[in-house]
Amino acid sequence: MATKTGEGFSSSFGAIMAAAGSAVGLGNIWRFPYICGKYGGGAFLIVYVFFVFFIGMILMMSEFVIGRRTGEDPVKAYPKLRPHRPGWRYVGLIGLVTCFLILAIYLVISGWTLNYFFESLVGTLSTIPDDGFGAHFNQFASSPLRPMIFIAVFLLLTTCVIVAGVEKGVERVSKLLMPILVVLLVFLCIRSLTLDGAAAGLSYLFSPDFSKLSGEGILAALGQALFSLSVGMGVMIVYGSYLPKDDNILKSSIWITVCDFAIAVLSGVAIFPAVFACGQDPTGGPGLVYQVLPLVFNTMGPVGRIFSVAFFLLLSLAALTSAISLLEALTQWVSGEKIKRTPSAIIMSLMVIVLAIAASFSFGEGIWSGIKIAGMQFFDFLDKLTGTILPPVCALLTIIFFGWFMKKDDIMDELSNHGMLKTSYFKVFYYILARFVAPLALLIVLIAGIINN
């Protein structure tokens, strides 16, 4: 427990569950399946695997090292490692601003999810006619009041966990929710795979179509890999500062990455076979989960309702553990000697809910939908900024710092737990991946993305 507030995870298992809880979220279950389908299924998957394991995982290890070495929040961690170059603190700051923006968007989508869970539970979702789900979603998401209620409830839950503390809140909730999430997902996969015609869904998800994999698809794969692993924004620096001293960073990072990847793929396996078996359009995009899946559940008869409750519960729980990590990062940053943890969490929650409300009002046909920034509605602008632009920029700066500005001895010392673990693997990780492969790949994809735009 090296942090300024004395907070920390009690065990490696707890730390892995919390970090996996941050990684596994709406990005895996809501975003990954439709992006994968859109950009060529198996072809996208190949590029995605590369980004996840050779860039995302390397960044995760780097952030853990920076966090545990310093025991500080991202803004203080960089200058602590390079006191003569205080300008690096801005990398931490941009990361935290990105967390703030992501949390606002995240709250809006989590609010929709909670509403759909509630509607499945009370049964109103099953009374909607087959051709009414699109209109139902648009009407709900664009309405000024109802989404706010669910956003507020979701944020309240998140804030309560943060106020409870890192070990008693974040770690305990993650240890409870992550296994439930896996069980629910496996249940959904089995149900989906046993439907007639499920094979077409699997083939849509896995057979590679390279003609659909454009430059835009490659940039989307990178953005998705970073977003999904929660790296580049400093959240893993924060969790790194809570890691137990004897945690094997390399091993934990591999576990978290494998778990995140597996859950994304399983989500595709839970969704697409069901969509195909019920004759629905798999290219539903972001609306797939809210407009197409409820219809799929309705066509399954009485079990559909159970399926629907389970699915939206799964999505809400996954979103909760991710939102917790975002709010934790912001809370840790603000809290210190002058402001304690609880007021910090409350101040940050109040600030972020204002932005979330603005984003919600500007969604679809909402009351602020006429206001445009860079030609986009505010919600879409935020989504673009946090989905494809800011994370790769922050990630590039983080890995350049790690590979080129941090002292190599500090890195090796931290990775080997002060010489307790064998270091030969870390040399490969450091000399090849962290110094060259990851920064170069990030740079190339970023430049290509800018040129393409």
What is the binding site for ligand PFF (CB under 6 A)? 22-23, 25-28, 99, 102, 227-228, 230, 233, 235, 322, 325-326
Nearer to ligand PFF, 22 or 120 (CB): 22
Give whole-number Cα distances, 215 to 39, 219, 359, 452, in Å. 10, 6, 28, 7
Question: Residue 325 CB, nearest distance to ligand PFF (Å)?
Answer: 5
Question: Residue 363 CB, nearest distance to ligand PFF (Å)?
Answer: 18
Question: Residue 114 CB, nearest distance to ligand PFF (Å)?
Answer: 15
The residue type of 398 is: T
Question: Residue 422 CB, nearest distance to ligand PFF (Å)?
Answer: 31
Question: Residue 345 CB, nearest distance to ligand PFF (Å)?
Answer: 16
Question: Residue 62 CB, nearest distance to ligand PFF (Å)?
Answer: 15
Nearer to ligand PFF, 198 or 293 (CB): 293
How far apart (Å, rounded) are the C-alpha atoms in residues 43 and 41? 5
Question: Residue 232 CB, nearest distance to ligand PFF (Å)?
Answer: 8
Nearer to ligand PFF, 142 or 257 (CB): 257
Nearer to ligand PFF, 173 or 235 (CB): 235
Nearer to ligand PFF, 108 or 295 (CB): 108
Question: Residue 192 CB, nearest distance to ligand PFF (Å)?
Answer: 21
CB 273 within 8 A of CB 201: yes
Question: Residue 302 CB, nearest distance to ligand PFF (Å)?
Answer: 31
The Cβ-side half-sphere exposure at 128, using a 13 Å CA radius, reads 26
Nearer to ligand PFF, 28 or 252 (CB): 28
Nearer to ligand PFF, 105 or 277 (CB): 105
| Cα first-last separation, the chain | 45
Residues 6+ apart with CB under 8 A from 166: 7, 8, 9, 242, 328
Nearer to ligand PFF, 192 or 228 (CB): 228
Question: Residue 244 CB, nearest distance to ligand PFF (Å)?
Answer: 21
Nearer to ligand PFF, 366 or 391 (CB): 391
Nearer to ligand PFF, 222 or 295 (CB): 222
